[in-house]
Amino acid sequence: MPDLLDQPALDAVRDEALAAFAAAPDLSALAALKATTVGDKSPLARARQAVGALPKDQKADAGKRVNAVAQALGRAFDDRRQALEAERDARVLVEEAVDVTVLPSRPVGARHPLTTIQERIVDVFVGMGWELAEGPELEHAWFNFDALNVPAHHPAREEQDTLWVDPPGSGLLLRTQTSPVQVRSLLDRELPVYVVCPGRVFRNEAQDATHSPVFGQLEGLCVDEGITMAHLRGTLDAYAAAMFGEGTTTRLRPNYFPFTEPSAELDLQCFSCRGASAVPGGEPCRVCSSEGWIEVGGCGMVNPAVLRACGVDPERYSGFAFGMGLDRTLMFRHGITDIRDLYEGDVRFTLPFGLEA
């Protein structure tokens, strides 16, 4: 029997190879060991050849022992390869680590708060079954004044500082209120009518911190059978609760508007202090100047003269209308102190409002 089939010799081959595997620093070094340990010219290959040359009676034993070495080396080789692969994979992941706070610089946009607050308020009313009505900004005086019970030379018409459009006397104007949309709604829609009308309105008024010649308004109109002031109060309270939190209420104070009778100023309970600042000894409140209420608009029962001008029978139908300043609502809701910020287009002002302020 040749020496290389001696058990000690086989053990030496095996141990040498195992040591080499264990010492291989990486996958390529391990691969390079393959030829010298298990390849055609390796001692192991030579041992297999030698087994072939043995007499028949010795073959079984020698072959068994050579195979045992071959299997041990195969297993050891695979184990080592798997270990080295795992090491490599872990190293790559470490090397591929990034700073996740460095992001591509893409322009960031935002929507104007006048747009988003309009949508929010409209959604409150749409949720109650109302619809959104719209109309032109450049209007005819008949829609803006006459049909609203404000005839020519009425003091209320003069108070509004209307911006008139050429030719003089044509009756064309920039709407001073969103009420002409109410008139169009009554003329064009089937009764009953439940509509909200947001939009821009215009006054011949110098720009300062609290006045703007262009500002946003939102009006609502409900004309149906059996409508009373109780429905007006209920609707306004529902709006206040939806917009400013459950339990926020409204208050009506008598006032005058030509298109409603009775008419009222609309106060919103301060959403910040809930009226607590107005109680003697209460913490002062900046939102409402410690009055407990914030004046937000006007409202009332639709004047029968308006219904008649719109072809609605005031004997059968009654209705209520309300209006509020969107700029003012924004100002107290977001703590805006200068109305000019809304109209100058400075991106630093608008960006914080995001897409759905």
Among 155, 280, 281, 284, binds other proteins (CB under 8 A): 155
The span from the CA of 216 to the CA of 307, in Å, is: 25
Interaction between residue 126 and other proteins (CB under 8 A): yes
Decide if residue 262 touches other proteins (CB under 8 A): yes
Q: How many residues are given for the chain?
A: 357
Should residue 49 be labelled a site residue for other proteins when binding is judged by CB under 8 A? no
156 CB-side CA count, 13 A: 15
Q: Kindly tell me which of 37 and 176 has the beta carbon lying closer to other proteins.
A: 176
142 touches, from other proteins, Zn ion, none (C-beta below 5 to 8 Å by class)? other proteins
Instruction: Work out whether 124 is an interface residue with other proteins (CB under 8 A).
Output: no
Q: Which is nearer to other proteins, 20 or 342 (CB)?
A: 342
Sign of the alpha-carbon dihedral angle for 343, 349, 353, 357: negative
Which residue of 160, 277, 318, 329 would you call a contact of Zn ion, by CB under 5 A? 277
Closest CA to 179 of 166, 192, 160: 160
115 burial via Cβ count (<10 Å: 0-12, 13-18, 19+):
middle
Q: Which of residues 89-108 bind Zn ion (CB under 5 A)?
A: none
Q: Pick from Zn ion, other proteins, none: which does 129 bind, CB < 5 to 8 A by kind?
A: other proteins
275: region left, alpha or beta (phi > 0 left; psi from -120 to 50 alpha) = left
342 binds, among other proteins, Zn ion, none (CB under 5 to 8 A by kind): other proteins
Choosing from 2, 45, 131, 242, the residue that interacts with other proteins (CB under 8 A) is 131
- Please, what is the minimum distance in Å from the beta carbon of residue 270 to Zn ion? 3
CB nearer to other proteins: pick between 59 and 120: 120
Which amino acid is residue 160, in one-letter code? Q
Dist CA 192 CA 283 (whole Å): 46
Pair 84, 30: CB distance under 8 Å: yes
Angle, alpha carbons 181-187-190 (nearest 5°): 110
CA separation for the pair 252, 297 (Å, rounded):
10
* 343 near other proteins, rule: CB under 8 A: yes
106 scored as a contact of other proteins (CB under 8 A): yes
Q: Which of the stretches 11-19, 28-36, 46-54, 167-175 binds other proteins when contact is defined by CB under 8 A?
A: 167-175
Interacting residues with Zn ion (CB under 5 A): 270, 272-273, 277, 285, 287-288
